[in-house]
Amino acid sequence: MPDTAVTSAVPAPVRWYRPGPAISRLRTVRAPALRIAAAIALLLLLWFYTPPAEPRFRLCGFHWLTGRPCPLCGMTRAVFALAKGHVRQALGFNALSPLGFAMLFSLFWDSSQRGRLWSAGIKALAAYGALRIFFPGA
């Protein structure tokens, strides 16, 4: 028996939903507009709301366990500060907050560069986290 009989026994993947041409065209027109609208909505939220500079309680489990800041500690407050243009305050909360800001807003763009940005960002956050944990005064 030829090999093709063995490979043809494997069932083809089932497609549960296949959009028609009208829906595909609608998706390509609407998707960028929706992403831009969502990015603007997020920016407005970050602009109008200001979280307290010193939170009443910290949500970070790492900080709760160790007493040391994790790579993301202060990132939320920093992103809110960056949206208002308060760069120095944001850098005080978290030195990598501009990178975090760029990573956050890259989620709204369908680009091949996003994966590279996120890979580099995660590596930078890991290095920053190690620095924060082992050299807290630095």
Encoding tokens for residue 39? 């990015």
Determine if 70 is a binding residue for Zn ion (CB under 5 A): yes
Count of CB atoms situated within 10 Å of the CB of 58: 13
In the list 35, 39, 42, 60, the residue contacting Zn ion (rule: CB under 5 A) is: 60
Applying CB under 5 A, the span of 17-25, 40-48, 67-75, 86-94 interacting with Zn ion comes to 67-75
Q: How far is the CB of 72 from Zn ion (least distance, A)?
A: 5
**CB nearer to Zn ion: pick between 39 and 91:** 91
Q: Determine contact, residues 106/114, Cβ cutoff 8 Å.
A: yes
The binding track of 15-54 with respect to Zn ion, each residue x by CB under 5 A or -, is ----------------------------------------
The DSSP result for 75-109, as a single string, is HHHHHHHHHTT-HHHHHHH-TTHHHHHHHHHHTTS
Residue 76 phi/psi, 5-degree rounding, is -60, -50
Residue of this chain nearest to Zn ion (CB atom):
60
Determine if 75 is a binding residue for Zn ion (CB under 5 A): no
Measured CA to CA, the distance from residue 70 to residue 36 in angstroms comes to 31
User: What amino acid is encoded at 76 in this protein?
Assistant: T
**For the purposes of burial, counting CB atoms within 10 Å of the CB of 77, is it exposed (0-12), middle (13-18) or buried (19 or more)?**
buried
Q: How far is the CB of 67 from Zn ion (least distance, A)?
A: 11
**CB nearer to Zn ion: pick between 73 and 82:** 73
Q: How far is the CB of 117 from Zn ion (least distance, A)?
A: 21
Determine if 96 is a binding residue for Zn ion (CB under 5 A): no
Question: Which residues contact Zn ion (rule: CB under 5 A)?
Answer: 60, 63, 70, 73
